[in-house]
Amino acid sequence: MIESLVGTMPWVSTALSRSNKILVKPNLGGGEPASMTSKQIMVAFCGWLRKNFDARVMLGDSSVVGSRSELSIETLGLREALEPLGVKVVDLADYPAVSVPIPDGRVLKDVRIYEPVINSDFLVSLAKLKTNYATRTTLTIKNLKGVISGPDKIRFHRLGVAECLTDLLTKISPQLGIIDGIQGWDIVRSIDVGALVAGTNAVAVDYLGALLSQTDPGRVTYLTLALERGLGALPPDEEQEKARKVSKPFVGPLDNAAGISIPEGMEIIAEGACSGCISILQAALRRMEAAGTLKGLPPVTIALGPGVCTHKQPGRTVVAMGNCSRARKDADCVMVGCPPQSRFEVQRVLEELRNPPQAR
């Protein structure tokens, strides 16, 4: 399937034949194997590269702050599958990140990019058909967030992920974008779609990816910004129609404060919080709702952001989330981190409120 999709693009084959170092950047974040680029797609594509071209091939990613792509590499058994093919599998965070100027940036003036990305002469963004809270969709452009350093990932959330991604795209753009939509991932669940998308125009590829998940591309801010700035073009009408015909409905992020029905007794206050804390909190609450563990929590106020102001109330627990939360000094519990390490850590803290260690 990969060969029939990519092998028919003459420009891609010509460029690959002239390349010495190919970097394949999959999506290895999310914790759940089903939320990552599928192992079968990674093996098939890298095998095709090794069979047809002489270049050195590296597959690598760097995960969200507080986690490691190395964990996903081990869980999926990627080294065992790919190294016999001659593909080097790495956690990009094991390499130095080099400061690169962004002369055409609107919010970024520079960004630190991992050395293997800078040193490659052909970049493939091998993304997952996926929804998320920060940007609605995680496709080939959002997948580029894995090529930048941890501190810059935090900076993207503070400055605006969509705006920063668009600035990044002015400096580094994949020569080939592929979306693994055989099985998509909708926040917390898998959806069978049975489609692959590939192309050399990342904006067009992601536009089709949004249509596959029945997400309005006009609501994907980084796509609208990229189009406004002339960083890509719309896909042909016939390709859009094909995507619509095979699309499946994804729920995606909901538009209320937490993306779920907030249980009685829970209060969320966010003043100046960035999308890092907000998206992790949303994911944690959505996961707890699906598991039925939101019920039974004691009255709790979750305070996010540097502008938040809370007051002690009898019988109510105040949880400060994130290093910048102004509520840290008065809170009963603090979720440290910028943002806190993961939705699983947030979930653990909240569930301990219902069943504190000393009560066990």
Farthest-apart Cα atoms in the chain, separation:
69
Strand duo 97-101 + 87-91: pairing:
unpaired
Residue 254 lies in a domain: no
What is the distance between the alpha carbons of residues 81 and 103, in angstroms, rounded to a whole number?
Answer: 40
Q: Is residue 289 located within the same domain as residue 159?
A: no
Q: Is residue 78 located within the same domain as residue 133?
A: yes
Residue 291 lies in a domain: yes
For residues 152-160, give the mean pLDDT.
88
Residue 257 lies in a domain: no
Here the tokens at position 52 are: 């047809």
Q: To which H or E segment does residue 21 belong?
A: strand 21-26
Q: Is residue 99 located within the same domain as residue 133?
A: yes
Q: Is residue 279 located within the same domain as residue 225?
A: no
* Among the listed residues 83, 17, 9, the one whose alpha carbon sits nearest the alpha carbon of residue 49: 17
What SS3 state is found at 269? strand
Domain boundary among 192, 213, 246: 246
Q: How many domains does the chain have?
A: 2
Concatenated DSSP letters of 46-102:
HHHHHHH--SEEEEEE--STT--HHHHHHHHTHHHHHGGGTEEEEEGGGS-EEEEE-
Here the tokens at position 135 are: 């940007």
Residue 260 lies in a domain: no
Is pLDDT above 90 for 137? yes
Name beta bridge partners: 101: 110
Q: Residue 201 belongs to a domain with what CATH number? A: 3.40.50
Q: Give Cβ neighbours of residue 264 (< 8 Å, ≥ 6 apart).
A: none
Residue 24 lies in a domain: yes
Q: Is residue 85 located within the same domain as residue 212?
A: yes
Q: Give Cβ neighbours of residue 352 (< 8 Å, ≥ 6 apart).
A: none
What is the distance between the alpha carbons of residues 74 and 80, in angstroms, rounded to a whole number?
Answer: 9
Q: Give Cβ neighbours of residue 359 (< 8 Å, ≥ 6 apart).
A: none
Is pLDDT above 50 for 112? yes
For residues 51-75, give the mean pLDDT.
91
Q: Is residue 148 located within the same domain as residue 234?
A: yes
Q: What is the pLDDT of residues 24-49, one digit of tens each?
A: 999 998 678 999 999 999 999 999 99
What is the distance between the alpha carbons of residues 209 and 178, in angstroms, rounded to a whole number?
Answer: 10
pTM of the model: 0.82
Strand duo 266-270 + 176-186: pairing:
unpaired
Question: Which residue type sits at 133?
Answer: Y
Here the tokens at position 317 are: 């627990």
Q: Is residue 223 located within the same domain as residue 327?
A: no
Q: Is residue 187 located within the same domain as residue 320?
A: no
For residues 68-81, give the mean pLDDT.
94
Phi, psi (rounded to 5 degrees) for 200: -100, -5
Is pLDDT above 90 for 293? no
Q: What is the pLDDT of residues 219-266, one digit of tens each?
A: 999 999 999 999 999 999 999 999 999 999 998 775 544 445 677 788
349: containing domain: 266-359
Q: Is residue 230 located within the same domain as residue 282?
A: no
Domain boundary among 189, 214, 246: 246
Concatenated DSSP letters of 104-154:
T-SS-SEEEEEHHHHH-SEEEEEEEEEEETTTEEESTTGGGGGGB-HHHHH
pLDDT at position 257 is: 45
Residue 261 lies in a domain: no
Q: Is residue 199 located within the same domain as residue 290?
A: no
Q: Is residue 211 located within the same domain as residue 338?
A: no
Q: Is residue 239 located within the same domain as residue 330?
A: no
The CB density around residue 245, as the number of other CB atoms within 10 Å, is 9
pLDDT at position 30 is: 65
Is pLDDT above 70 for 296? yes
Residue 181 lies in a domain: yes
Alpha helices in 182-274 (DSSP H): 202-212, 221-228, 237-246
Here the tokens at position 73 are: 């590499």
